[in-house]
Amino acid sequence: MFDKEIKVMQDILVNETNFSKIWDYFMTNFAENPRYLKYCKKIKKPGIKSIIEAIGKKHMFPNQKIVITNMLLNKVKRTKLIHGPFFINNCIGMVFYFEDINKGLVAVSLKKDMASYYRISSIAMIKGKNGIIPMDDNIDDDPPFLD
């Protein structure tokens, strides 16, 4: 269905340093495609919200309470792509995230006509006898929240 576009986007996400290029590819090939939107279903992903909260606390609104509202995540059927809008402290944001590579991008409009981009990655953690450890020992070297 969107296999070629997803592969290209994942490659851009992992290798591109200009985050606006990543975002432009997503918007052009997915978000603005009416066929794409037909294949989406609403989901909840608390982990994505936690990542956005951590970014907000560290980079956007230090020393402020972080409030995320109106998060509307969608998953594209038969893919590992999740995306959707949200508000963080009354600023509009969008996220896309690939579950199969545990990476994505967050864009937030903090000022008029200006977006801030954050490439994200995550790993699942569990509480073990030696503290909190990754669920899978075959993870990459990315830190749990930001590149």
Reduced to 3 states, what is the DSSP secondary structure of residue 28?
Answer: helix
Q: Which pLDDT score is estimated for 1?
A: 66
- 133 has a pLDDT exceeding 80: no
Predicted confidence (pLDDT) at residue 141 exceeds the cutoff of 90: no
Q: How confident is the model at residue 87 (pLDDT cuts 50, 70, 90)?
A: very high
pLDDT at 8: 93
State the sign of the Cα–Cα–Cα–Cα dihedral 19, 21, 27, 29. Answer: negative
Domain segments of the chain: what residues? 3-134
> Smallest Cα–Cα separation from 88: which of 45, 117, 55?
55
The amino acid occupying position 102 is: N
Mean pLDDT of the chain: 83
Banded model confidence at residue 138, pLDDT cuts 50, 70, 90 = very low
CA 101 to chain centre: 11
d(CA 71, CA 12): 25
